[in-house]
Structure 1
Amino acid sequence: MTSMTQIVAFGGVVLLGAMSPGPDFAVVVRRSAVSGRGYGMAAALGISMGVFAWVVAAATGVAALLAASAAAFTVVKVVGAAYLLYLGVKALRSALRRGEEPRPDVAADPGRRSPWAAFAEGLLTNVLNPKAALFFVALVPQFVGGGASLADTLVLSLIALGGTVTWFLVVAAIVGTLRKAFARPAVRRAVDGLTGVALIGLGVKLAAAGRP
């Protein structure tokens, strides 16, 4: 049975992991700044569902198989890096676009104007990151043993989801509150440019990463 001390400690470690700069943070910030608070929150929910899935995978041993398999790790790494590069290039193209200021609700998702696109972007950014698998493979066994019950796994997964979604919803709310400032063309291009460079850099770093 997972104790309250374990729950608090696990939630704290996951929250610190969520707060560290990375692709998840970049996606939520750009979505909130460019498309609005609702889109940023949708991306935050997608990221949190990815974290939930990783905790379940780590507790059931699936994530450990991914971490142990060179082929599986490489496939996820390459696909994840390509996705980050795609997001980064898309952001840079938006930053370099001249002429009429794009409408905020359309610019981030040309042809896909639903927050579900932002949710999917957040989800894919997280689940295609093999470093998340390594993080939870190292973390989860410290809180659940080999004979962990379904209830223990579910509790830890919900704690991870709750902590992650709380942090990124706060980020989305803060950035969304500053929407008027971000709506200015010069600021908008700066946000797109900075997050685009960050995502491309993270994609390159992920592509070059090896298994520990």
Structure 2
Amino acid sequence: MDAVTSVAQIAAFGGVVLLGAMSPGPDFAVVVRRSAVSGRGHGMAAAAGIAMGVFVWVVAAATGVAALLAASALAFTVVKVVGAAYLIYLGAKSLRAALRGGGALDLSVPEPGGRGSWAAFAEGLLTNALNPKAALFFVALVPQFLASGLSVLTLSAVALAGTVAWFLVVANVVSLLRAVFARPAVRRTVDGLTGVALIGLGVKLATTSSP
């Protein structure tokens, strides 16, 4: 593959991954809530976790693991149920925060359940990694670009960079508006809408049929 073709293929792959990242879904909801309620640092940590999840899915798709998941009804169902349960759990937490008055969460204070940037990172990672729809997306996408001559490392790096770039933009834009989100009524609205969205996405995922 010559240099021009390689650059074109990388740009095409990066563009598709970016469009996938920009589509509304649980990843977007998690980054927005973390950034609005807990600040830029936590939003960026969640963004990094989501990007790492995408990196894992690209490698899995390239090595055939994701294809196995897509082909196995049992494996697909297990990941689907766990992922749906996790989204519903996150949604319930958001709704509970809304009902309590939408107070800002101080995630820098250590708690038994584990709080802070690592918790935000883990939340982003699990939200993406437990979504079997991500597996289907990359199973359909990655082999096409591997066949064109791009390496697994290149595809993984491009997917990681594109995803983290988009969600870092989201985290920073939302955090700039944090003065607005600091108002109790706005916080309650953000928590309530995010909770409803995550629970809805969890229910939708739970009712998704295997491919």
Q: TM-score category by the smaller chain?
A: over 0.9
Report what 2:191 is aligned to.
192
Aligned-residue offset at 1:108: 10
Match of 1:53 among 56, 59, 77: 56
Contact kept? 1:36, 1:105, Cα under 8 Å: no
Once superposed, which parts of structure 1, at least 4 consecutive aligned residues long, lie more than 4 Å away?
Answer: 107-111
Q: Distance in 1 between matches of 2:111 and 2:92?
A: 15
Contact kept? 1:63, 1:137, Cα under 8 Å: yes
Report what 1:86 is aligned to.
89
SS at match of 2:151: helix
Report what 1:210 is aligned to.
209
Does 2:13 correspond to 1:10?
yes
Residue segments in structure 2 that go unaligned for 5+ positions in a row: none
Report what 2:131 is aligned to.
129
Q: Distance in 1 between matches of 2:127 and 2:170?
A: 17
Instruction: Compute the RMSD of aligned alpha carbons.
Output: 1.9
Aligned-residue offset at 1:110: 5.5
1:1-212 matches, within 5 Å, as: 3-98=6-101, 102-106=103-107, 111=112, 112-145=114-147, 152-212=151-211
Contact kept? 1:35, 1:108, Cα under 8 Å: no
Q: Distance in 1 between matches of 2:29 and 2:110?
A: 16
The one-letter code matched in structure 2 to 1:179 is: R
Q: Distance in 2 between matches of 1:91 and 1:203?
A: 14
Evaluate the alpha carbon distance shift between residue 120 and residue 142 of structure 1 in structure 2; reply closer, same or farther with a 3 A threshold. Answer: same
Residue segments in structure 1 that go unaligned for 5+ positions in a row: none
Q: Distance in 1 between matches of 2:132 and 2:94?
A: 23
Aligned-residue offset at 1:104: 3.4
Aligned-residue offset at 1:114: 1.6
Contact kept? 1:77, 1:207, Cα under 8 Å: yes
Contact kept? 1:14, 1:163, Cα under 8 Å: yes
Aligned-residue offset at 1:211: 1.9
Q: Distance in 1 between matches of 2:78 and 2:111?
A: 28
Evaluate the alpha carbon distance shift between residue 158 and residue 152 of structure 1 in structure 2; reply closer, same or farther with a 3 A threshold. Answer: same
Equivalent residues, number = 207
Contact kept? 1:28, 1:171, Cα under 8 Å: yes
Evaluate the alpha carbon distance shift between residue 178 and residue 119 of structure 1 in structure 2; reply closer, same or farther with a 3 A threshold. Answer: same
Evaluate the alpha carbon distance shift between residue 14 and residue 87 of structure 1 in structure 2; reply closer, same or farther with a 3 A threshold. Answer: same
Moved more, 104-113 or 23-32: 104-113
SS at match of 2:171: helix
1:83-126 deviations in Å (ceiling 9; x for gaps): 0000000000000014xx73432499865332000000000000
1:109-157 deviations in Å (ceiling 9; x for gaps): 86533200000000000000000000000000110039x6xx7100000
The one-letter code matched in structure 2 to 1:195 is: T
